[in-house]
Amino acid sequence: MSLRALPHADPGVPDTRSGFRFLLWLEKRQIRSQIAAALWGTLHMAAVGSFPAVVGFAVQSVVDHSGRRLATAGGLMLALGVLTALGDTMLHRTAVTNWITAAARVQLLLARKTVELGSVLTRRVAAGEVMAVSTGDVEKIGWFVEALARFTSALIATIGIAVALVLYQPALGGLVAACIPVLAFAVLPLLPRATRRADEQREKAGKATALASDTVAGLRVLRGIGGEELFLARYRHASQEVRTAAVRSARMWALISMMQVVLPGLLLVGVAWYGARLALDGRISVGELVTVYGTVGFLMFPLRGFEEIAMAYSFSRPSAKRAARVLSLERGASSVTSTVASGGEDTAPAGDLYDPATGLLAPAGLLTAVVCGDPDAAGRLADRLGGHSPERKDDDPSVLLGGTALDALPLALARTAVLVQDKDPVLLSGTLRELLDIPSSGTVDPSTALAAAQCGDVLDALAQASVDDSGDPMRTRITERGRSLSGGQRQRLALARSLVTDPEVLVLDEPTSAVDSHTEARIAQGLKELREGRTTVVFASSPLLLDRADRVVFIADGSVRSVGTHHELLHGDLAYRAVVTRETELELELEKAEESA
């Protein structure tokens, strides 16, 4: 495959049953380029491996005083030089292509899975592990795919040379052929220990990466409580553990490399000694001795391929296992791949949003507020309404939109129909214009959405922070995750981004938890006016938001307990009133008893 064809139009459906099967699947996906690399590698090694025979032929020509044969040897050397250069160049070209192609395929699969799962991904897999898979693990997987083709050519060359030596000079060739398996498999007893040490290093490196990611994400909080030095000490300790593990792993691989040099060296010394004895006895010619000696010296080159493939597999196997674990995650109980493959409708359905598991009904075109006593349960329900709950099982019913199961829709349609804004939304780095330049219906423009989300003071702050003296807040860059903004400012910008999208159903999880009450009241009014005629579900317990809702649904113990307006539930359901007013049910019962008395 040419690099110009990247990225892949379709990376395929990976086999994620195990790390080995995933590596095997990658090999099969680019088998033609792997065969091409192996053939070029075989040509290169055959040309290099033939040089000792030609040199021996030239030496014997000098001994025999044959100018014609010496000229023939010179011509052969020139031809072998050309073949060596051609084989080496094309091998490097195809091998690097295989490496980049495999890495690009894995990265595209990971990107597709990230888009598919959304915020559910980091709830199932630690962010540090996802980062490690998408960076270092991708490189190691590509290394194995690339090294396998060169190992194949090395194996073919080694077997071919051993057979040729036996036929050419049985006395020395038999000795070399008998020693080759010993040289190739001598390092096998060391590989399990080397692999364990490499796994230990990667595990510690992954923990250090996760710790660094968490520290950077919570840097503002750490500074507020004076915990920078504490977390710095923790990361320093984790980093030293990684260094120690890396040194232990490197020592083992250095021992393996040493054996790959020492053992062939001992063979070379033995061949030189035994061959010299045979030459002195007149049993072989000087040219034959030079040929066999040079060939044994060449064998050190392909034997290095055995060490490399062992290292590549040892490093890539756990990397492939981690990648397969991430890629095996599913959006819900049903497979997204099979859903997409089955076709589905061309347009997203419209109608009421209904969750059979809890009994929650959000009528089409209305603003429905949902009150849950447990904030975690509210977050899980919000994810469920979006069709990507991480805890849904095969026998759980799917959320219905207009009578159509969300899990029965292709992912793109499900995302178009229902948009879920998490309680802790992420703002990507870039300008405000880029933040709001997202796929949308086109009905709501950014200025309208910003006004409805009460972002006036945010725009003023961004205008003052503008670095190009334009004073245009739309051109001001927002730092990663919006760390330069306050929590309330981030919430309002995220809300404006969701309003610009203008989905058929918008699910908001505590969209105003970080803003003051006056701003919250204006946001509630702006949200109701802008989403008029659209289905909106807001998870909240603030009376300011609840009072603007068309209907309020109170959920307790995993199911709908009562439905009505905010004032109706406030006076008719003590449990609802306890959640909203932060009073206990006992206090409310005593208060009610005093009023009745």
* pLDDT at site 235: 81
Question: In this structure, are 437 and 296 located in the same domain?
Answer: no
Last residue of a domain, one of 327, 362, 378: 327
Is 569 contained in some domain?
Answer: no
Kindly state whether residues 304 and 429 are assigned to the same domain. Answer: no
Whether residue 226 is contained in a domain is answered as yes
Residues 281 and 233 in one domain: yes
Residues 441 and 393 in one domain: yes
Co-location of 145 and 242 in the same domain: yes
Phi-psi region of 359 (alpha: psi -120 to 50; beta: other; left: phi over 0): left
Q: What is the residue range of 266's domain? A: 13-327
157 plus 22 within the same structural domain: yes
CA neighbor of 21 nearest in space, from 383, 321, 374, 406: 321
pLDDT of residue 596: 60
Residue burial 137-161, b: 16+ Cβ < 10 Å; e: rest? bbebbbbbbbbbbbbbbbbbbbeeb
Q: Where are the alpha helices (DSSP H) in 226-374?
A: 228-280, 286-327, 336-341
Q: Which of 294, 311, 327 is the last residue of a domain?
A: 327
Q: Are residues 100 and 225 in the same domain?
A: yes
In 3D space, the residue among 466, 514, 447 whose CA is nearest the CA of residue 487 turns out to be 514
Three-state SS for 537? strand
Evaluate whether 289 touches 278 at the Cβ level (below 8 Å). yes
Token code pair at residue 350: 């419209």
Q: Are 313 and 358 in a shared domain? A: no
Q: Give the pLDDT score at 337.
A: 39
340 domain residue, yes or no: no
C-alpha torsion angle, residues 62, 65, 71, 75 (rounded to 10): -40
What CATH number is given to the structural domain containing 235?
1.20.1560.10
373: CATH = 3.40.50.300
**Letter for the amino acid at 169?**
Q
| Residue 256, domain member (yes or no) | yes
Q: Going by DSSP bridges, is the β-strand pair 353-355/360-362 parallel, antiparallel, or unpaired? A: antiparallel
Tens-digit pLDDT string for the chain (597 aa): 566 777 777 888 999 999 899 999 999 988 999 999 999 999 998 888 888 888 888 888 888 888 888 899 899 999 999 999 999 999 999 988 999 989 989 999 998 888 877 767 777 776 667 777 887 788 889 889 888 988 999 889 888 888 888 888 787 778 888 888 887 778 778 878 887 887 788 778 877 877 776 666 666 555 666 666 777 788 888 889 889 988 998 898 888 888 878 888 888 888 888 888 887 877 878 777 788 788 888 877 787 788 788 888 888 888 888 889 888 887 654 444 333 333 445 677 888 999 999 999 999 999 999 999 788 888 889 888 887 665 555 567 789 998 888 877 877 788 888 999 888 888 888 888 898 998 888 889 999 999 999 999 888 888 887 766 677 888 888 877 677 788 889 999 999 999 999 998 999 999 998 889 899 999 999 999 999 999 999 999 999 999 999 999 999 988 999 999 999 998 888 888 888 887 765 565 666 555 565
Measured CA to CA, the distance from residue 398 to residue 243 in angstroms comes to: 48
| Residue 83 shares a structural domain with residue 155 | yes
Q: What is the pTM of this model?
A: 0.68
What is the Cβ-side half-sphere exposure of residue 84, based on CA atoms within 13 angstroms?
12
Q: Identify whether residues 107 and 192 lie together within a single domain.
A: yes
| Alpha-carbon radius of gyration of the chain | 34
pLDDT at res. 479: 77
Provide the number of structural domains found in the chain. 2
Report yes or no on 573 lying in a domain. Answer: no
User: Is 99 a domain residue?
Assistant: yes
Say which amino acid occupies 102: A
How far is residue 440's CA from residue 499's CA, in Å, rounded to a whole number?
9
Give the three-class secondary structure for 466.
Answer: coil
Look at residue 334 and tell me if it is in a domain.
Answer: no
Q: Do 451 and 489 sit in the same domain of this protein?
A: yes
Quick check: helix, strand or coil at residue 390? coil
507 burial level (CB within 10 Å; 0-12, 13-18, 19+): buried
Closest CA to 579 of 595, 594, 557: 557
Residues 360 and 251 in one domain: no
| 587, part of any domain | no
